[in-house]
A and B are shown apart, each in its own frame.
Chain A
Amino acid sequence: ETGVTQTPRHLVMGMTNKKSLKCEQHLGHNAMYWYKQSAKKPLELMFVYNFKEQTENNSVPSRFSPECPNSSHLFLHLHTLQPEDSALYLCASSLSRTSGRGNEQFFGPGTRLTVL
Chain B
Amino acid sequence: SQQGEEDPQALSIQEGENATMNCSYKTSINNLQWYRQNSGRGLVHLILIRSNEREKHSGRLRVTLDTSKKSSSLLITASRAADTASYFCATEPDRGSTLGRLYFGRGTQLTVWP
Contact = CB atoms under 8 A, between A and B. Distances in A.
A and B interact: yes
Interface of A: 2, 4, 6, 31, 40-43, 45, 48, 56, 88, 90, 92, 96-99, 102-110, 112
Nearest to B5: A42
A105 B44 contact: no
A4 B99 CA distance: 23
Contacts of A107: 35, 42-44
Contact of A102 (B31, B35, B44): B31
B67 interface: no
Contact of B104 (A40, A43, A108): A43
Nearest to A55: B100
Nearest to B48: A102
Interface residues of B, number: 23
Contacts of B31: 102-103
Contacts of B61: none
Contacts of B40: 88, 110, 112
Contacts of A96: 100
A90 B40 CA distance: 10
Contact of B42 (A40, A99, A108): A108
B20 interface: no
11 contacts: A2-B42, A40-B106, A90-B42, A97-B101, A98-B99, A99-B100, A102-B48, A103-B100, A103-B101, A103-B102, A110-B40
